[in-house]
Amino acid sequence: MANKYIYSLGKRKTASAQVKLFDGKGEDKVNGQSITEYVTRDDLFDTIYAPIKLSKLKDKVHFEITIAGSGVSAQAEAMRHGLSRALVSKDESLRTVLKAAGLLTRDARKVERKKPGLHKARKAIQWSKR
């Protein structure tokens, strides 16, 4: 395996994905496991591989990802974000395609904190005028 790689970081909610993008054909790994072992939901594969499919580099690159935090869906979106950023670092001409698809934008939405005096972040007790 080649030692040279492109590093990038992808985030979503509290998930953080450290992506190493290698040239050439190889096995895609997540946290030391094969991606098919780590990701069990089929719909998440489309999410993760979206930037690679858009850039038409299916068999030309492979990656190793270290991911932590959040749930499976947010982790998949963090991986997608990291892969998109790594592909742009590799080839700047891919920026227009990936940006148009919205893959380079960091989704900053997080869970809002609970406020004192309320049941949840915004849910208050029922108010009665009389």
Give the pLDDT score at 88: 96
Whether pLDDT at 33 is above 70 = yes
Mean pLDDT of 112-121: 97
Q: Chain-wide mean pLDDT for the chain?
A: 95
pLDDT tens digits, 68-108: 999 999 999 999 999 999 999 999 999 999 999 999 999 99
The pLDDT confidence band at residue 32, using thresholds 50, 70 and 90, is very high
Q: What's the pTM?
A: 0.91
Q: What is the DSSP letter of 102?
A: T
Q: What angle do CA 35, 85, 66 make, to 5 degrees?
A: 35
Enumerate the H helices of 3-122 as residue ranges: 35-38, 42-54, 72-90, 95-100
DSSP string for 25-54:
S---EETTEEHHHH---HHHHHHHHHHHHH
Give the pLDDT score at 78: 97
Mean pLDDT of 28-42: 95
Mean pLDDT of 111-127: 96
Structural domains of the chain, ranges and CATH numbers in brackets: 6-100 (3.30.230.10)
